[in-house]
């Protein structure tokens, strides 16, 4: 039992140290490029799409086939040059596709709005919709391809050439993963139609209802929508990613399995371009069951998620309020109380302090990993809603919102640092709604000083936790650490108590055994004496 308890104690001690080992590697300076299955890939911040994040790229400038990811360019040009409410006639050429093509489901002579056709092109990757759009905007697919090459050159895609509007295989239709990252960043953030583009590629489902038939559409991006189970595939692998915002899949035998994915967290947009995935070491085989293929189908989605997780964890920086204040973040703000007493020592000037503890910690998303703490500049936006005397010291007079890179981090109450008496001349005081609404609303935040809590504008983007609460500075995927440590601690205490009880019981047993031996020796001596 002693040996067993010792082994359990050692094992639990090792388990207790595992979380700390993970903390040391959670923000590793390098990413294992060999962990990505696809042979051509790049990860970029959408603000700097020509440069990979921390050098995470492989064969980024090698010529590759884009397959249906081509439709990103087709879509953004149509948005910029077309009218979403225009009705588009579907020609015979637009529906001239055989088996094996991804289609929206159009028929010759149909009329659908340009809006519906764009959803039909981007969600189920309809080749028929791509042809109809191109003919409507430019008169022909060849003329539309000229527009595509012009736009590509305009936005800095220096190693690409486009021949088709849908991406079906053509030796003269090529690009690079870096160029596609540049294109996607333009479509998401820089185009005058970026908001419309985001809405389309981020839709999980859509129903085209402007034509003769209602056509239900489902996004092929498995980071947004799970593949439904079926008799052939009863348990499809889920690839959902909570921060995913699009963008486009692509599949041809020559291009392989392609994915351009985008995610957004705390105002930072990342783009992952992964091209050239296959069905493993074997060539495509119609004899494979869907479940066999599915584990290869999901690799591109899982790889994109791994890239996003690494970058976002790498960008996350935990900074104390005291450090930010040292770097210039204001916590005190001035307001003039117009009806203050005439003899007020400061002429009605009141300082209000943000109800933040200097020991509390903010989780800040820093897009540039080389950014130093001293370079993190937090902006403040104070709003006063109580500017009439009398005002008591500690009274809530407004609120302040702190932002970083234009993204709200936290809102705190503003508390009066002194009392202000009312002047003898009566001033009409506006009634204060105990639960103000609209522009005068004060978010009711709990004091970090009083009860160790503060509300954030978006709990998914930033948290504020005082150091005394534990877990400060732990990445979002490490929130379980305090619980694990608490459980390990309790188990260690229990084992130590059991061990002590065991030692006491063992000592008691030994004493009892010694007494028995002593009695036995005494009996033996008496017997010997009697015999003598």
Residue 318: strand, helix, or coil: strand
The CA distance from 520 to 513, in Å, is 10
Which CATH architecture best describes the domain 28-315? Answer: 3-Layer(aba) Sandwich (3.40)
Q: At 466, give phi and psi (nearest 5°).
A: -70, 150
Please report, for the chain, the start and end positions of each structural domain, with discontinuous segments joined by +: 28-315, 327-474
Whole-angstrom CA distances from 3 to 10, 187, 379, 499 are: 11, 65, 60, 11
Edge-to-edge strands, sheet with 332-336: 332-336, 349-354, 407-416, 396-404, 379-384
Decide: 442 and 385 in contact? Cβ < 8 Å: yes
Q: How many other CB atoms are found less than 10 A from the CB of residue 179?
A: 26
Q: How many other CB atoms are found less than 10 A from the CB of residue 1?
A: 10
Strand 205-208 to strand 215-218: parallel, antiparallel, or no bridges (unpaired)?
Answer: antiparallel
Out of 52, 71, 160, 360, the active site residue is: 71
Picking from 70, 206, 196, the residue whose alpha carbon sits closest to that of residue 144 is: 70
Decide: 130 and 165 in contact? Cβ < 8 Å: yes
pLDDT at 301: 97
Is residue 71 part of the annotated active site? The answer reads yes
Picking from 446, 486, 480, 490, the residue whose alpha carbon sits closest to that of residue 466 is: 446
Strand 464-466 to strand 316-320: parallel, antiparallel, or no bridges (unpaired)?
Answer: unpaired
DSSP states of 206-256: EEE-SSSS-EEEE---TTTSPPPP-SS-SSPPP---TTEEEEEEEEETTTE
Residues forming a β-bridge with 415: 353, 396
Question: Which tokens sit at 138?
Answer: 């430019």
How many contiguous H segments (helices) and E segments (strands) does the chain have? 12, 17
pLDDT at 118: 98
Picking from 277, 344, 329, 283, the residue whose alpha carbon sits closest to that of residue 304 is: 277
Widest distance between CA atoms in the chain: 132
Decide: 250 and 167 in contact? Cβ < 8 Å: yes
Q: At 272, give phi and psi (nearest 5°).
A: -115, 125
Distance spanning both ends of the chain, measured CA to CA: 46
Question: Which tokens sit at 454?
Answer: 């503060």
Out of 52, 102, 113, 125, the active site residue is: 125
Decide: 355 and 451 in contact? Cβ < 8 Å: no
Residue 86 CB contacts under 8 Å (≥ 6 apart), including other chains: 113, 114, 136
The CA distance from 235 to 231, in Å, is 9
Count of residues in the chain: 532
pLDDT at 280: 59
Is residue 519 part of the annotated active site? The answer reads no
The CA distance from 128 to 217, in Å, is 14
Sequential pLDDT tens for the chain (532 residues): 555 555 555 555 544 444 433 333 333 357 899 999 999 999 999 999 999 999 999 999 999 999 999 999 999 999 999 999 999 999 999 999 988 899 999 999 999 999 999 999 999 999 999 999 999 999 999 999 999 999 999 999 999 999 999 999 999 999 999 999 999 999 999 999 999 999 999 999 999 999 999 999 999 999 999 998 888 888 899 999 999 999 999 999 999 999 999 999 988 999 999 999 987 555 555 667 888 888 888 999 999 999 999 999 999 888 888 888 888 899 999 999 989 898 888 888 999 999 988 888 888 888 887 788 788 888 899 999 888 889 999 999 999 999 887 778 889 999 999 999 988 654 444 454 444 444 434 343 333 333 333 333 343 443 333 333 333 334 444 445 667 677 777 888 888 888 888 888 887 887 777 777 777 776 766 666 666 5
Is residue 68 part of the annotated active site? The answer reads yes
Question: Which tokens sit at 498?
Answer: 């059991």
Strand segments (E) across 26-71: 40-45, 52-58
Out of 68, 160, 320, 363, the active site residue is: 68
pTM of the complete model = 0.69
Q: How many other CB atoms are found less than 10 A from the CB of residue 484?
A: 14
The CA distance from 290 to 279, in Å, is 11
């Amino acid at each position: 039992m002693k040996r067993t308890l010792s082994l359990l104690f050692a094992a639990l001690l090792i388990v207790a140290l595992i979380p700390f080992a993970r903390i040391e590697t959670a923000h590793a300076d390098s990413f294992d490029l060999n962990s990505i299955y696809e042979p051509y890939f790049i990860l970029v911040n959408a603000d700097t799409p020509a440069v990979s994040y921390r050098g995470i790229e492989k064969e980024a400038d090698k010529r590759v086939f884009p397959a249906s990811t081509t439709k990103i360019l087709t879509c953004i040009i149509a948005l910029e040059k077309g009218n979403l409410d225009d009705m588009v006639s579907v020609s015979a050429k637009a529906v001239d596709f055989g088996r094996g093509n991804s289609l929206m489901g159009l028929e010759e002579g149909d009329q659908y709005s340009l809006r519906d056709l764009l959803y039909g092109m981007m969600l189920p990757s309809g080749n028929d919709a791509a042809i109809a759009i191109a003919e409507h905007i430019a008169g022909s697919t060849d003329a539309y391809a000229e527009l595509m090459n012009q736009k590509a050159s305009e936005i800095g895609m220096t190693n690409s050439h486009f021949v088709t509007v849908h991406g079906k295989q053509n030796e003269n239709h090529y690009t690079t993963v870096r160029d596609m990252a540049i294109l996607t960043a333009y479509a998401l953030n820089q185009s005058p139609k970026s908001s419309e583009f985001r809405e389309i590629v981020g839709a999980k489902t859509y129903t085209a209802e402007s034509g003769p038939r209602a056509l239900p559409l489902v996004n092929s991006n498995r980071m947004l929508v799970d593949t439904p189970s079926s008799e052939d595939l009863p348990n499809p692998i889920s690839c959902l990613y909570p921060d995913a915002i699009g963008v486009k899949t692509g599949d041809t035998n020559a291009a392989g399995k392609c994915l351009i994915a985008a995610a957004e967290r705390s105002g930072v947009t990342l783009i992952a371009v992964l091209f050239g995935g296959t069905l493993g070491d074997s060539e495509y085989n119609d004899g494979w069951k869907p479940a066999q293929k599915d584990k290869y189908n999901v690799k591109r989605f899982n790889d994109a998620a791994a890239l996003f997780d690494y970058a976002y964890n790498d960008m996350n920086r935990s900074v104390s309020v005291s450090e930010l204040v040292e770097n210039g973040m204001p916590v005190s703000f001035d307001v003039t109380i117009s009806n203050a007493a005439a003899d007020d020592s400061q002429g009605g000037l009141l300082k209000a302090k943000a109800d933040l503890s200097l020991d509390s910690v903010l989780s800040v998303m820093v897009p540039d990993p080389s950014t130093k703490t001293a370079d993190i500049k937090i902006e403040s936006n104070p709003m006063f809603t109580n500017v009439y005397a009398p005002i008591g010291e500690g009274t809530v007079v407004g609120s302040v919102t702190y932002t970083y890179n234009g993204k709200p981090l936290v809102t705190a109450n503003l508390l009066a640092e002194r009392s202000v008496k009312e002047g003898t001349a009566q001033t009409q005081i506006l009634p204060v709604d105990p639960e103000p609404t609209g522009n005068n609303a004060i978010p009711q935040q709990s004091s970090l000083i009083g009860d160790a809590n503060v509300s954030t504008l978006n709990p998914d983007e930033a948290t504020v936790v005082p150091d005394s609460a534990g877990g400060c500075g732990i990445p979002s995927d490490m929130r379980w650490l305090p619980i694990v440590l608490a459980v390990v601690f309790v188990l260690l205490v229990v084992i130590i108590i059991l061990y002590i009880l065991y030692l006491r019981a063992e000592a008691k047993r030994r004493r009892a055994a010694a007494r028995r031996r002593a009695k036995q020796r005494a009996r033996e001596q008496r017997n010997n004496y009697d015999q003598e």
